[in-house]
Homo-oligomer: A and B are copies of this chain.
């Protein structure tokens, strides 16, 4: 029995430690630029920093501001475009110890960076994921434009997001090689010290990037759990059984406590039937009955949008709560 209001985010302390240590051993120091968007928690970022990683990847301006406020802003990369960069300019102007490198992929975003007072940029290159990023052949021209606007171009980034989740490792390897060929070609036109790419699914495959932007490895989810990765499931949502009927039961962990875009969560010794706003209806396995008041652990399919629903996470050792950390990088 854990004395917490449910639903509550639980982080298995031993699994977290294993995941952080495993990744830091594989990608020491500046080879890893941990992405904070998966956990949105400066306390977890601080632990990643203690592993020797001084630079971090962010997805939002609020993440940059929160990391800076926590004293972890020495080398932040906002791996995302913004149409108005003034908050970032203000952030670096206010604090000399803060450095933010902003992704740009167009004339408009370069102009926004310059107008907003940003100093450092990377050219974001499309390596196959249909999202942000310029065409590889345009990277050099954009870099010249950025330099002409007085921006310091630190290099390129190009996220192989369509590859990181591919279960067959050999396809993941060959696809990553294809993506990075594009990024290296762009880099030869752009220059700079950074070739930033990669994620949890390609952390040991992507040897072309100078730094890997992995984030999910720290807490993991069931989607990444299908891959051949050495990271353990560290995160679950603690829920309480509130109703039991013949054939199924209901716990208090629903759509407002779980990212659902990768599908239903999983529950040990049970099959998840469906989720509603505040409920998960599940079918306990034969021989694993539950009763009202029982606590269960619900493992989300996708970690990032799960964590973003919660105000805090609790680091645990079995049923002992070791520490409660605010999820302090939420919002925009």
With A242-B109, A261-B275, A276-B161 known as contacts, the answer to whether A130 contacts B305 (CB < 8 A) is no
Q: Are the CB atoms of B108 and A250 closer together than 8 Å?
A: no
- Closest B residue by C-beta to A135: B245
Q: Which residues in B have their C-beta under 8 angstroms from that of A105? A: 243
With A240-B83, A243-B131, A243-B133 known as contacts, the answer to whether A277 contacts B292 (CB < 8 A) is no
- Closest B residue by C-beta to A331: B311
Q: Which residues in B have their C-beta under 8 angstroms from that of A241? A: 83
Task: Tell me the A1-57 residues at the B interface (CB within 8 Å).
Answer: 5-8, 37
Q: Are the CB atoms of A332 and B5 closer together than 8 Å?
A: yes
Q: Which residues in B have their C-beta under 8 angstroms from that of A81? A: 242-243, 250, 292
Q: Within the assembled complex, what's the spacing in Å between the Cα atoms of A220 and B135?
A: 39
Q: Within the assembled complex, what's the spacing in Å between the Cα atoms of A8 and B332?
A: 9
Copies of this chain per assembly: 2
Q: Which residues in B have their C-beta under 8 angstroms from that of A130? A: 245, 248, 273-274, 281
A291 at the interface (CB under 8 A from B): yes
Q: Are the CB atoms of A243 and B109 closer together than 8 Å?
A: yes
A259 at the interface (CB under 8 A from B): yes
Partner of A244, one of B106, B242, B273, B292: B106
Q: Are the CB atoms of A256 and B304 closer together than 8 Å?
A: yes
A151 at the interface (CB under 8 A from B): no
Q: Are the CB atoms of B250 and A259 closer together than 8 Å?
A: no
Q: Are the CB atoms of B243 and A332 closer together than 8 Å?
A: no
A313 at the interface (CB under 8 A from B): no
A82 at the interface (CB under 8 A from B): yes
Q: Which residues in B have their C-beta under 8 angstroms from that of A260? A: 259-261, 305
A308 at the interface (CB under 8 A from B): yes
Q: Which residues in B have their C-beta under 8 angstroms from that of A289? A: none
A60 at the interface (CB under 8 A from B): yes
Q: Which residues in B have their C-beta under 8 angstroms from that of A278? A: 37, 59-60, 80
CB distance from A7 to the nearest CB of B (A): 6
What number of A residues sit within 8 Å (CB to CB) of B? 58
Partner of A304, one of B261, B277, B305: B277
- Could you show 28 A-B contacts with beta carbons less than 8 Å apart? A7-B332, A37-B277, A59-B278, A80-B242, A80-B279, A81-B242, A81-B250, A105-B243, A106-B243, A106-B244, A106-B292, A126-B245, A130-B248, A130-B281, A131-B276, A131-B281, A132-B243, A133-B245, A135-B245, A252-B332, A255-B302, A256-B305, A256-B308, A257-B332, A259-B260, A260-B260, A277-B304, A309-B309
- B-binding residues in A (CB < 8 A): 5-8, 37, 59-60, 80-84, 105-106, 108-109, 112, 126, 130-133, 135, 161, 240-245, 248, 250, 252, 255-257, 259-261, 273-279, 281, 291-293, 302, 304-305, 308-309, 311, 331-332
Beyond A112-B293, A130-B274, A133-B245: 18 further Cβ-contacts under 8 Å? A60-B278, A83-B292, A84-B293, A106-B243, A106-B292, A108-B292, A109-B243, A131-B276, A132-B250, A133-B243, A161-B276, A255-B302, A255-B305, A257-B332, A259-B260, A260-B260, A261-B275, A277-B305
